[in-house]
Amino acid sequence: MADELKSLRTAGSIKNMSHGELLFTEGEPGNYFYLLMDGGIRLFKTSPAGQEVDIRLVKPGEIFAEVIIFDRDIYPVSAIAVMPSIVFAVNRMVFNDLLTDKSFRKKFIINLMQKQRYLAERIMYMMSYDVEERFFRFLLDRYGRFEEVQIDLPKKDIAAAIGTIPETLSRLIARLKNHGAIEWEGNSLKVNPEWWEMYED
């Protein structure tokens, strides 16, 4: 594996991104795909009316924009940093040369299969849990069980992470506040401990 990683390093470079910086835009010709090393990247499409439609929130360790390797030479979505982030940009032409190596190709295909399984699990997740449960499970996964925490993501990015739209998330937050489940002022979020018991496995 060390040899493969060494070869991969020769195919790309590290890019530091600031919060709110665009990495690429929908429809732009693409010569690179990316590995998120640290931070968070939001992928979104823009509707004909100009509305942003969130696709997903990329987490550290995930590959994204790999569609340009095989399928097309333009980016089908836009990507923006939701916090200071570090990405590893891989040149697709150099990477295609690496795929001629049988061992490297096998490991990359395994990675793609793992991503395919993730997408299947994501669909099952969306079908199995309502938006309220997805919200609490997201909090548990990102911050652990807490009574108070400083939220480091905009609400629209949280909405993308749980597979809903910002308007629906806003209504959910208002309802949870009314029920005494949470208190959310600025970036400070408090959760009533009794509510955790309903969503912990």
- Using one digit for the tens of pLDDT, what is the confidence trace for 84-118? 999 999 888 777 666 666 666 666 666 666 665 65
Q: Token pair of 119, please?
A: 């997408």
Describe the strand order of the beta sheet including 22-24 as a list of residue ranges: 22-24, 78-81, 41-46, 52-58
Return the CATH number of the domain spanning residue range 2-127: 2.60.120.10
Q: Does domain 129-199 have CATH number 1.10.10.10?
A: yes
Residue 144 in this model has a pLDDT that exceeds 80? yes
The segment(s) of the chain belonging to CATH 2.60.120.10 are 2-127
pTM: 0.56
